[in-house]
Amino acid sequence: MSDQQNTASDLIYQLEDKPPFLQAIIGAVTHLLAIFVPMVTPALIVGTALQLSPETNAYLVSMAMIASGVGTWLQVNRYGMVGSGLLSIQSVNFSFVTVMIAIGTSMRADGVDEELLLSTIFGISFAGAFLVVGSSFILPYLRRVITPTVSGIVVLMIGLSLIKVGIIDFGGGFSAKSSGTFGDYQNIGVGLLVLLVVIGFNCCKSPLLRMGGIAIGLIVGYICALFLGMVDFSQMSKAAFITIPVPFKYGFSFNFAHFLVVAIIYLLSVLEAVGDLTATALVSGQKIQGQEFQSRLKGGVMADGLVSVAASAMSSLPLTTFAQNNGVIQMTGVASRHVGKIIAVILVILGLFPGIGWFFTTIPAPVLGGAMTLMFSMIAIAGIRIILSNGLRRRETLIVATSLGLGLGVSYDPAVFHVLPTSLYALAENPICMGGVTAIILNLIIPISKETEPDDIEESVREEEV
The pLDDT tens digits for 358-370 are: 776 678 889 988 8
Residue 464, pLDDT score = 45
Return all residues near 454 (Cβ < 8 A) that are at least 6 apart.
393, 460, 463
Q: How many CB atoms lie within 10 A of CB 364?
A: 25
Q: What Rg, from alpha-carbon coordinates, does the chain have? A: 22
Which of the pair, 239 or 310, is modelled with greater confidence?
Answer: 310
pLDDT at 457: 45
The yes-or-no verdict on residue 55 having pLDDT over 80 is no
**What's the CA gap between 227 and 215, in Å, rounded?**
19
Percent of all residues in the chain with a pLDDT value above 70, rounded to a whole number: 88
CB 299 within 8 A of CB 86: no
* pLDDT score for 194: 93
The residue ranges of every structural domain in the chain are 19-380
Banded model confidence at residue 238, pLDDT cuts 50, 70, 90: low
Query: What type of residue sits at position 76?
Result: V
Q: Tens of pLDDT along 123-158?
A: 999 999 999 999 888 876 766 777 888 878 887 887
The pLDDT of residue 357 is above 80: no
pTM for the whole structure: 0.71
Average pLDDT over residues 103-115: 81
> b vs e for 371-398, b when ≥16 Cβ sit within 10 Å of the residue's Cβ?
bbbbbbbbbbbbbbbbbbbbebbebbbe
Q: Average pLDDT, stretch 225-229?
A: 92
**What 3-state class would DSSP assign to 323?**
coil
Mean pLDDT for 210-219 is 79
Q: How many CB atoms lie within 10 A of CB 144?
A: 9
Asked if pLDDT for residue 43 goes beyond 90, the answer is no
78 three-class SS: coil
In three-state secondary structure terms, 102 is helix
pLDDT at 348 over 70: yes
Task: List pLDDT tens digits, range 165-197.
Answer: 788 889 988 778 888 889 899 999 999 999 999
pLDDT above 50: residue 240 = yes
Residue 98 banded pLDDT, cuts 50, 70, 90: low
Give the bridge partners for 82, in sequence order.
Answer: 79
Give yes or no for residue 7 having a pLDDT over 70: no
The alpha carbon of residue 464 and the mean position of all alpha carbons in its chain are separated, in whole angstroms, by 43
* Rounded average pLDDT over 339-356: 88
H or E segment to which residue 305 belongs: helix 291-313
235-244, 288-297, 393-402: which range is least confident on average? Answer: 235-244
The residues, ordered by sequence, that sit 6+ positions from 310 with a Cβ below 8 Å of its Cβ are: 67, 70, 71
Q: What is the arithmetic mean of pLDDT over 6-15?
A: 70
| String of DSSP letters for 242-270 | -----TTTT-----HHHHHHHHHHHHHHH
pLDDT for residue 455: 53
Q: Is 185 exposed, middle or buried (0-12, 13-18, 19+ CB in 10 A)?
A: exposed
- Side-chain-side CA neighbours of 248 within 13 Å: the count stands at 12
Q: What is the mean pLDDT of residues 51-68?
A: 84
- Residue type present at position 137: F
**Cα dist. 220→190, 193, 213, 257, 404 in Å?**
9, 8, 10, 49, 36
Mean pLDDT across the chain, nearest whole number?
Answer: 82
